[in-house]
Structures are given as C-alpha cells and as structure tokens.
C-alpha cells in the first residue's frame, strides 16, 4: 500500500490533505492528474445513468440540510458504530474491529519484552491472547458505546443546540426530500429515478487504507422509484427493478474495463441489512487490500418517503391520473451507490451506509 501511496503522490494523482501540517487523518487531495481522472469517471457515470436513460433525471442538492432530515431518515438514532476506549492511552477502537489490528504485548515469558503480535493471533512465546488495548498493551478497554458517525456543525452565528445540523453522510436524502419537486416539475411517470453526485462526510473512527475509506468522499447515488402494486415479469416491481439495477451496474463496470474476475456480488445477510433495507447486494472489487465494497445496491422499500411524509407532514405520494396508488406511496428503490471516485467503502453490519 505504501508503494501505491507514494507513486500516486509522485505522479500527481493523490496528495495527503494538509500535508505540510502533518496531514489530516483520512483526508486526501486529488492532484492535477487525479482530478482529471476523477472527473472523467464522474462524467462517464452521469452520461451512462442519467443522460442516456429516458427514465432518469439528475439533481444537485445542498450538503447542509434541515436537521429534521436526519431524524426522519434514522441517521440520528441508527448511524452509529460501537466503540471501545482504552482507559490508559485513550485510544478509541471500533468494537467489532479491535481483533483485526496487530496488538502490543509485554510478554511475561520474556521478562516483559515488548512485541507486536499479528492480528487475531496469540503470543508466540507465552500463548496469551489479547485482553488489553492493542495500541499501548497496558490499558483495559471500556464496554462498547454507540458513537454517531455524522459530522456536527452549527448554522448561523450562535453555537447552540437549536442551530445544530450535520454534514450529510449520504446524498440520497437530498433526493428523497426533493421527490415531489422533481415529480411535479418534470412530470415523471413511474418508474423513474433521480441520480446525484456529491460530497458526503462520515466521521470514521478507524479510517481505512488510503482512499479506500475516507472521512470526506464523493458519492454517485441513484434512487429509483417504482409502483409496488405493479407486477413485472411475474414479480413485484421493486424486486424486478432491484435485480435489473444489479445487472445494469455490473454491465457498466465491465463495459469500462473492470475484469469480470475482479468483480463479484455479495448478498447481505439478514442481520447485516441496514435499518431501511429489504435486500442489499454489494458489488465487490478485488482491491490491493482484498475484496471490498465498490457499490451497494439496496431495496429500501418505501422507508424513506414514508419517514419524510411522517416527519414533514407532506404527502410525498404519486397520482397516476385515476387513483392514488397503494396508499399512494411509490416504493423506493434500487439504490446503486458508488464510491467509484474515492474507491470502495466497506460498511459495518449495523449502520446505514
């Protein structure tokens, strides 16, 4: 990985953010060549999924939204990772990842000599397994606590709770809250989709390798709205379209040069599904760090529109000319979310990545 990072720097693709001040954790800057490459990928995606399809339109929503959006979407309550802290060195770890890092060990079998033992393995001298902090090897770890991953900020001149808002952790909510605006102004008929490219922010505790998991990143997202009462090819429309989007996205990757042998689909287990999802399939890519998520495609049902209807008091329904459909609300969505421009993003089981 170090070779890759230094090559990207030397050739003007990716620099560490604020490098002259020692760098900002898990933030990266795209250099002169990197920005060209990134823009190319974005243009390609936009042309393929927005401009060339009759059933798609684009959107560019703002990063800072009404704080109620994140309450309604479930992010305030559910967008969390379980964290443990070291009582000694104060280092913080994701509870589910703490066994995946090498650990520091002062071995009693060798007069307390300090070793770094590979992740998940016992000490080769005394056979002990890790019980203390992997970082300092001395501190006890606290019980897991839930830590929200959204970046907080204040709107306006006063730093008080009433002015508290968030940098968006996903672009999708901008699409949902504009559902009615797009529907009315563009006179769309179901099924149709809205796509968007934009920055999102997640306060990752254990940011990953290089640009493969960053705190600030760019997403390409699509929300596709279908009539849940409709049957297509003998299947409910939401299931049919979900499958279609999986195929279309795989075809897109292959068409633009990703080898089939480096791509695979991974079905989410039931307990792994995000709070809104009926079914989620990840497109995984064989990165230098191993298989990891390149894109997640989720059937979110009507979770989001229903939530926003409830919290905003607006109906967010669809009228097809004769009747309000299925209590009016179209099922969303197949939701390709691609981190292609910033690389892969892996997600933990419990959060709504």
Residues binding Zn ion (CB under 5 A): 86, 88-89, 91, 107, 123, 125-126, 128, 133, 135-136, 139
Q: How far is the CB of 351 from Zn ion (least distance, A)?
A: 25
Q: How far is the CB of 104 from Zn ion (least distance, A)?
A: 8
Structure tokens at 325: 């459909």
Taking the least distance from each CB to Zn ion, the nearer of 5 and 89 is: 89
DSSP 149-164: -SEEEE-SS--SGGGE
User: 262: how many CB neighbours lie within 10 A of its CB?
Assistant: 13
Q: How far is the CB of 144 from Zn ion (least distance, A)?
A: 16
Report d(CA 223, CA 172) in Å as an integer.
7
Per DSSP bridges, beta strands 279-287 and 263-267 are antiparallel
Report d(CA 233, CA 224) in Å as an integer.
18
| DSSP state for residue 46 in the 8-state scheme | H
User: 90: how many CB neighbours lie within 10 A of its CB?
Assistant: 11
Taking the least distance from each CB to Zn ion, the nearer of 135 and 223 is: 135
Taking the least distance from each CB to Zn ion, the nearer of 84 and 353 is: 84
Q: How far is the CB of 100 from Zn ion (least distance, A)?
A: 16
Q: How far is the CB of 143 from Zn ion (least distance, A)?
A: 15
Grouping H, G, I as helix, E, B as strand and the rest as coil, residue 104 is strand
Name the H helices within 11-158.
32-46, 67-72, 75-78
Q: How far is the CB of 233 from Zn ion (least distance, A)?
A: 56
Taking the least distance from each CB to Zn ion, the nearer of 30 and 103 is: 103
Taking the least distance from each CB to Zn ion, the nearer of 84 and 277 is: 84
Distances (CA, A) of 7 to 1, 3, 12: 10, 6, 8
DSSP 302-337: THHHHHHHHHH------B-SS-B-GGGPPEE-EEEE
Rg (CA), the chain: 23
Dihedral sign computed on CA atoms, order 124, 125, 126, 128? negative
Taking the least distance from each CB to Zn ion, the nearer of 89 and 232 is: 89
Report d(CA 207, CA 223) in Å as an integer.
27
Q: Are 278 and 297 in contact (CB under 8 A)?
A: no
Taking the least distance from each CB to Zn ion, the nearer of 136 and 232 is: 136
Report d(CA 116, CA 132) in Å as an integer.
13
Q: How far is the CB of 92 from Zn ion (least distance, A)?
A: 10
Taking the least distance from each CB to Zn ion, the nearer of 84 and 305 is: 84
Q: How far is the CB of 136 from Zn ion (least distance, A)?
A: 3
Q: How far is the CB of 89 from Zn ion (least distance, A)?
A: 3
Taking the least distance from each CB to Zn ion, the nearer of 84 and 167 is: 84
């Amino acid at each position: 990985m170090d070779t890759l990072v230094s090559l990207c720097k030397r050739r003007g693709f990716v620099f560490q953010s604020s490098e002259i001040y020692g760098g900002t954790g898990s933030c990266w800057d795209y250099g002169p060549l990197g920005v060209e490459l990134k823009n190319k990928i974005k243009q390609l995606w936009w042309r393929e999924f927005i401009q060339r399809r009759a059933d798609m339109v684009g959107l560019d929503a703002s990063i800072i939204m009404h704080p109620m959006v994140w309450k309604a979407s479930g992010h305030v309550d559910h967008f969390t990772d379980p964290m443990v802290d070291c009582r000694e060195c104060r280092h913080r770890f994701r509870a589910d990842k703490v066994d995946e890092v090498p650990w520091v060990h002062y071995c009693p079998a060798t007069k307390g000599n300090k070793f770094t033992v590979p992740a998940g393995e016992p000490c080769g001298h005394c056979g002990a397994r890790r019980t203390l902090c992997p970082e300092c090897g001395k501190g006890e770890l606290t019980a897991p606590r839930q830590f929200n991953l959204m970046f907080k900020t204040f709107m306006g001149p006063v730093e008080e709770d009433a002015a508290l808002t968030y940098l968006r952790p996903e672009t999708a909510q901008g699409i949902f809250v504009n559902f009615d605006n797009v529907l009315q102004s563009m006179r769309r008929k179901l099924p149709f989709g809205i796509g968007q490219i934009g920055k999102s922010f997640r306060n990752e505790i254990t940011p990953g390798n290089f640009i493969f998991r960053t705190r600030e990143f760019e997403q390409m997202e699509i929300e596709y709205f279908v009539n849940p009462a409709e049957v297509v090819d003998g299947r409910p429309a939401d299931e049919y379209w979900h499958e279609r989007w999986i195929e279309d996205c795989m075809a897109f990757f292959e068409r633009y040069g990703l080898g089939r042998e480096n791509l695979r689909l991974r079905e989410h287990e039931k307990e792994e599904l995000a709070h809104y999802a009926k079914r989620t399939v990840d497109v995984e890519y064989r990165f230098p760090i191993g298989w990891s998520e390149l894109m997640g495609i989720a059937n979110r049902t009507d979770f989001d529109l229903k939530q926003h209807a409830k919290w905003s008091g607006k109906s967010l329904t669809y009228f097809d000319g004769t009747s309000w459909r299925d209590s009016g609300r179209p099922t969303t969505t197949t939701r390709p979310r691609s981190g292609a421009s910033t690389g892969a993003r892996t997600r933990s089981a419990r959060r709504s990545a």
